[in-house]
């Protein structure tokens, strides 16, 4: 949620300078997509996290309609469920904060991460004030600690993105304060947070979409800026810290023209704005994935840039230029130079959105052909053989477990931005 509260398999191509790039990895086999919950559950803003050493996988969604009557939680709540067998089967959706958050009017924007000891970290919005809170679970999501606030003196924050070190001792969250971007740090496993640090010094309002903590402790967030007072060019930035979050540097890596407007009912103008995300691998290599268009209101292209140190970057490489690319997510695999990338685009027409996957095993130099993950042409009123009507939610989720299996979750909908029975979250995993 940025600033508002409220079948047929097809192969794609990967282009660089208009040419088709050589495949960098073999295409995995994905299971058929499945719905989280039922068709009457409006679950959006989905995310996923995998245990780095065990077969546990976790999913979180924002439950738009009241699924909490039996849980003593808010009508708009963050629900989490767990799988103990690598995503083959799932337990029930339960509130990450039930009775303690009973009087919180709404919750949005879930984020999940799993530390090396199996502790699950969850961050989300408990309304705009205090905004982002953090809770942890040491029993696979059955019970959670009391949420910790991190807003300091700020009275508004939105769009949190969570990144943790491998042990979970270092916890970082980037968020937007309506007019500027901030980041906060904890070095006691999320028990307390230092005061928020403003990370931008220009006139843009930045929104984060993905973050990572590299093996050397450097932390990075992918963010995009929007004009505070008018529409216009959108800077695409890497926000990073090399001193454990005491100070931050914002590096503009690209600039997009104004993104296509969202014309769906109840949707806001910049729903399809430029977005950026980032991941690092076990060697410390960093891949930055982002969207931009060179022409205002034209479809956006998905690019990547790669770096071995977070300072020096390769030239941009086109991963997808079919349709209007949106909601990218990137994650590293268990081996160095192995990165996975997912996104949504409407190459099949304005009501033919789909979720796609690509992989590199050479650090982002080349990428595999795009694989369509949203393979069902029925099962919901907004599905056809072309795809789904609307990408329901502001982002999607991707996690890679220790065995290299991809876990992907995304939102689909009927084009009505808010309301009842408007869409849901769907997921799949690779074999």
- The CATH number of the domain holding residue 255 is 2.120.10.10
Average pLDDT score over residue span 89-113: 91
Q: Which domain holds residue 315?
A: 15-429
| Per-residue pLDDT, 216 | 97
| Three-state secondary structure call for residue 178 | coil
Whether 261 maps to a domain, the answer reads yes
Residue 20 clears pLDDT 70, i.e. is over it: no
Q: CB 233: neighbour CB atoms within 10 A?
A: 16
pLDDT score for 92: 93
Cβ atoms of 63 and 42 within 8 Å: the answer is yes
Please check the confidence at residue 158 and state whether its pLDDT lies above 90.
yes
C-alpha to C-alpha distance for 72 and 124, rounded to whole angstroms: 18
In a domain, 82, yes or no: yes
Residue 68 to residue 93: CA distance in whole angstroms: 10
**pLDDT tens-digit readout, 355-385:** 999 999 999 999 999 999 999 999 999 999 9
Q: What are phi and psi of 321, to 5 degrees?
A: -130, 25
The span from the CA of 412 to the CA of 414, in Å, is: 7
Cβ atoms of residues 107 and 78 within 8 Å = yes
Predicted pLDDT at 12: 35
Please give the pLDDT value at position 232. Answer: 82
Q: What strands, in cross-sheet order, belong to the sheet with 158-164? A: 158-164, 171-176, 181-186, 197-198
Residue 397 confidence (pLDDT) above 80: yes
Average pLDDT over residues 237-245: 98
The least confident of 25-29, 236-240, 327-331, 376-380 is 25-29
**pLDDT above 70 covers what percent of the chain?**
90
Residue (of 187, 125, 123, 131) closest to 154 by Cα position: 131
What pLDDT score does 9 carry? 29
* pLDDT value of position 21: 45
The pLDDT of residue 6: 35
Give the helix/strand (H/E) hosting 303. strand 301-307
Q: Residue 8 falls within a domain, yes or no?
A: no
- C-beta of residue 394 within 8 angstroms of C-beta of residue 413: no
**Segment 67-86, tens digit of pLDDT:** 766 556 777 899 999 999 99
pLDDT attached to residue 222: 98
pLDDT at 142 over 70: yes
- Alpha-carbon gap, residue 357 to 408, rounded angstroms: 9
Nearest C-alpha neighbor of 363 from the set 418, 309, 290: 309
Is the model's pTM score more than 0.75? Answer: yes
With a CB cutoff of 8 Å and minimum separation 6, the contacts of 420 are 42, 65
Query: Which residue has better confidence, 265 or 92?
Result: 92
When mean pLDDT is compared across 8-17, 143-152, 256-265, the lowest value belongs to 8-17
Per-residue pLDDT, 330: 98
20 occurs within a structural domain: yes
10 part of a folded domain: no
The answer to whether the CB of 48 falls within 8 A of the CB of 398 is: yes
Query: What DSSP string describes 8-37?
Result: ---B---EETTEEPPPSSPPPPBPPPEESS
How far apart CA 422 and CA 42 sit, in angstroms, is 6
> Is the pLDDT at 417 greater than 50, yes or no?
yes
Residue 166 has pLDDT above 70, yes or no: yes
Number of helical (H) and strand (E) elements in the chain, helices listed first:
0, 32
pLDDT at 267: 87
| Predicted pLDDT of residue 404 | 96
Provide the number of structural domains found in the chain: 1
Q: Judge whether 321 lies within some domain.
A: yes
User: Cα–Cα distance between 313 and 238 in angstroms, integer?
Assistant: 11
Give the bridge partners for 211, in sequence order: 221
Is 27 part of any domain? yes
Cβ–Cβ under 8 Å, residues 73 and 99: yes
Is 417 part of any domain? yes
Q: Which is more confidently placed, 216 or 394?
A: 216
CA angle (408, 413, 419) in 5-degree steps: 125
Rounded to whole angstroms, what are the CA distances from 256 to 61, 161, 279, 294, 302?
30, 21, 21, 6, 11
- Residue 11: pLDDT over 80: no
**Mean pLDDT for the stretch of residues 40-68:** 91
């Amino acid at each position: 949620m940025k600033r508002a509260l409220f079948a047929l398999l097809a192969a794609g191509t990967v282009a660089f300078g208009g040419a088709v790039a050589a495949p960098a990895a073999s295409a995995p086999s994905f299971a058929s997509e499945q719905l989280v919950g039922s068709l009457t559950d409006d679950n959006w803003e989905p995310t996923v996290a995998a245990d780095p050493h065990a077969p546990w996988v976790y999913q979180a969604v924002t439950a738009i309609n009241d699924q909490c009557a039996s849980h003593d939680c808010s009508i708009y709540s963050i629900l989490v469920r767990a799988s103990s067998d690598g995503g083959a089967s799932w337990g029930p959706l339960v509130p990450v904060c039930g009775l303690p958050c009973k009087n919180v009017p709404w919750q949005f924007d879930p984020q999940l991460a799993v530390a090396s000891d199996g502790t699950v970290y969850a961050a989300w919005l408990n309304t705009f004030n205090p905004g982002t809170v953090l809770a942890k679970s040491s029993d696979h999501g059955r019970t959670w600690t009391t949420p910790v606030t991190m807003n300091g003196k700020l009275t508004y924050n939105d769009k949190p993105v969570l990144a943790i070190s491998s042990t979970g001792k270092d916890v970082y969250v980037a968020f937007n304060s309506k007019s500027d971007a901030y980041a906060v740090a904890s070095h006691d496993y999320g028990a307390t947070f230092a005061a928020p640090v403003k990370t931008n010094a220009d006139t843009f309002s930045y929104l984060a979409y993905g973050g990572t903590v590299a093996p050397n402790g450097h932390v990075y967030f992918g963010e995009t800026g929007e004009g505070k007072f008018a529409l216009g060019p959108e800077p695409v930035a890497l926000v990073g810290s090399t001193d454990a979050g005491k100070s931050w540097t914002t590096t503009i890596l690209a600039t997009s023209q104004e993104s296509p407007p969202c014309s769906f009912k109840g949707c806001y103008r910049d729903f399809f704005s430029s977005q950026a995300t980032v991941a690092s691998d076990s060697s410390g290599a960093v891949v930055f994935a982002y969207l931009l268009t060179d022409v205002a209101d034209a479809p956006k292209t998905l690019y990547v840039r790669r770096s071995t140190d977070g300072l020096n970057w390769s030239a941009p490489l086109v991963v997808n230029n079919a349709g209007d690319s949106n909601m990218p997510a990137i994650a590293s695999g268990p081996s160095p130079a192995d990165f996975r990338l997912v996104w949504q685009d409407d190459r099949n027409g304005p009501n033919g959105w789909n979720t796609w996957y690509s992989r590199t095993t050479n650090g982002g130099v080349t990428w595999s052909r795009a694989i369509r993950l949203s393979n069902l042409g029925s099962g919901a009123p907004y599905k056809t053989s072309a795809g789904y009507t609307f990408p329901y939610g502001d982002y999607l989720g991707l996690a890679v477990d220790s065995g290299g299996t991809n876990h992907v979750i995304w939102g689909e909908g009927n084009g009505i931005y808010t309301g009842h029975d408007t869409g849901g979250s769907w997921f799949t995993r690779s074999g």
